[in-house]
């Protein structure tokens, strides 16, 4: 059909391609009522989502006298970075006045090993489930996935007891174990689905060549799965950094992660409220996941979509 059309010249050809419907590039006026409505609604929504971020930044750059006078939406008359310095190095939680930096480093010390350990374990689990299924494996996996829906509160206290028995309650190691446990359902699912989607011939060929469980994992599966490892990392880094409940339950105050310390700083009842310091501290705490989010872009979306489609 296209051949006959093409004889009649380029213009006719492209015209016939336009005919069936809106798939082609039909020129639309930029300011049609329809467009104005769509973009108007989107921009309005965008403003709602951006407003708190704007308010945070603006407030953190003002001095306290200016905050007391002006409204929270006005840009700072005099920009000061003092609240940031104070939030980082000298804001008080109870008796400690060494700022949010302690929480930051605690969170780093929690997030990095938790991410590594949970991904290592979950990827091996996923691999075993996808390629080396043994009897009963599916049952355990089902329990794991159903367990992902159980509220954490139901399982917290038994874990406290177990950790206390093995002497890890309150330590960083204990918290890392907890993050590994609760990251397991979603990560295992992620890896299982990914490994299942790889061509089975690859696995069979390696088996015929005499490769065993670990050789195939390290030599074939791992190098082929970098994207999914990145997705898992994004999921875990943001998830663990943002955690509050486990940090507060399973660690001693000197190991409190950043979120817990932030909450203690802002919601402390003593002293004069320094809103600019509070907002600087809030931005500092949100900075890590935000950076991960902006840098990773589409992979983040893929991660949450994978996290969302359970079962």
Partner 1 sequence: MTGQAYAGRPNQLLRNLHSKIASIPMILTAVVIFLGGTLWTVFYSFTNSKLLPRLSFVGLDQYERLWAAPRWLMSIQNLAIYGFFSLIFSLVIGFVLAALMDQKIRFENTFRTIFLYPFALSFIVTGLVWQWVLNPEFGVQSVVRSLGWTSFTFDPLYNQSIVIYGILIAALWQGTGLVMCLMLAGLRGIDEDIWKASRVDGIPMWKTYLFIIIPMMRAVFITTLVIIASGIVRVYDLVVAQTSGGPGIASEVPAKYVYDYMFQAQNLGQGFAASTMMLITVAIIIVPWAYLEFGGRKRG
Q: Which residues in the 284-303 window bind partner 1 by CB under 8 A?
A: 285-286, 289-290, 292-294, 297, 300-301
Residues 10-29 that bind partner 1 (CB under 8 A): 20-23
Least distance (Å) between residue 52 CB and partner 1: 4
**Cβ closest to partner 1, residue 108 vs residue 292:** 292
Given a contact cutoff of 8 angstroms between Cβ atoms, the answer to whether 187 and 118 are in contact is: yes
38 to 32, 46, 50, 99: CA distances (angstroms): 10, 12, 18, 45
- Binding segment toward partner 1, per CB under 8 A, in 3-11, 93-101, 143-151, 165-173: 143-151
**Cβ closest to partner 1, residue 71 vs residue 197:** 71
Residues 159-178 that bind partner 1 (CB under 8 A): 159, 161-162
Report helix, strand or coil for 93.
strand
SS (H, E, C) 239-304: HHHHCCHHHHHHECHHHCCHHHHHHHHHCCCCCCCCHHHHHHHHHHHHHHHHHHHHHHCHHHHHHH
Least distance (Å) between residue 177 CB and partner 1: 10
- Binding segment toward partner 1, per CB under 8 A, in 7-15, 46-54, 82-90, 108-116: 46-54
d(CA 277, CA 97): 13
d(CA 69, CA 240): 38
- Of these, 12, 15, 17, 73, which contacts partner 1 (CB under 8 A)? 73
d(CA 86, CA 98): 9
d(CA 179, CA 122): 12
How many residues in the shown chain lie near partner 1 by CB under 8 A? Answer: 97
- Of these, 15, 36, 38, 79, which contacts partner 1 (CB under 8 A)? 38
**Cβ closest to partner 1, residue 8 vs residue 162:** 162
- Binding segment toward partner 1, per CB under 8 A, in 8-16, 77-85, 97-105, 262-270: 262-270
**Cβ closest to partner 1, residue 8 vs residue 46:** 46
d(CA 142, CA 298): 29
- Of these, 115, 251, 278, 280, which contacts partner 1 (CB under 8 A)? 278
d(CA 247, CA 176): 10
**Cβ closest to partner 1, residue 271 vs residue 311:** 311
d(CA 114, CA 175): 8
Listed in sequence order, the residues at least 6 apart from 258 whose beta carbon sits closer than 8 Å to its beta carbon are 100, 103, 104, 106, 107, 241, 284, 285
Told to check if 280 binds partner 1 by CB under 8 A, we report: no
Residues 170-229 that bind partner 1 (CB under 8 A): 180-181, 184, 188, 203-204, 207, 212-214
**Cβ closest to partner 1, residue 172 vs residue 278:** 278
């Amino acid at each position: 059909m296209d051949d006959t059309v093409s004889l009649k010249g380029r213009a006719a050809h492209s015209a016939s391609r336009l005919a069936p419907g809106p798939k082609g590039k039909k020129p639309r006026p930029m300011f049609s009522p329809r467009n104005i409505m769509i973009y108007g609604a989107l921009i309005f929504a965008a403003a709602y989502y951006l407003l708190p971020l704007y308010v945070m930044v603006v407030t953190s750059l003002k001095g306290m006298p200016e905050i007391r006078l002006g409204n929270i939406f006005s840009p700072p008359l005099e920009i000061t970075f003092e609240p940031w310095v104070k939030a980082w190095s000298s804001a008080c939680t109870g008796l400690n006045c060494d700022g949010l930096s302690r929480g930051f480093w605690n969170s780093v010390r929690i997030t990095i090993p938790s991410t590594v350990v949970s991904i290592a374990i979950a990827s091996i689990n996923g691999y075993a489930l996808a390629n080396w299924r043994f009897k009963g494996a599916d049952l355990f996996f089902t329990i794991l996935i159903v367990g992902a829906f159980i509220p954490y509160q139901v399982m917290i206290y038994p874990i406290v007891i177990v950790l206390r028995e093995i002497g890890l309650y309150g330590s960083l190691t204990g918290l890392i174990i907890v993050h590994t446990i609760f990251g397991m359902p979603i990560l295992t699912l992620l890896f299982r689905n990914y490994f299942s989607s790889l061509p089975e011939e690859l696995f069979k060929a390696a088996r015929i060549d005499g490769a065993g469980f670990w050789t195939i994992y390290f030599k074939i599966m791992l190098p082929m799965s970098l994207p999914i490892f990145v997705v898992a990392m994004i999921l875990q880094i943001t998830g663990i950094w943002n955690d509050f409940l486990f940090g507060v339950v399973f660690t001693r105050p000197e190991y409190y992660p950043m979120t817990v310390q932030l909450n203690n700083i802002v919601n402390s009842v003593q002293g004069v409220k320094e809103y600019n310091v509070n907002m600087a501290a809030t931005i500092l705490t949100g900075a890590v996941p935000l950076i991960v989010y902006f840098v990773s872009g589409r992979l983040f979306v893929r991660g949450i979509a994978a996290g969302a489609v359970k079962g």
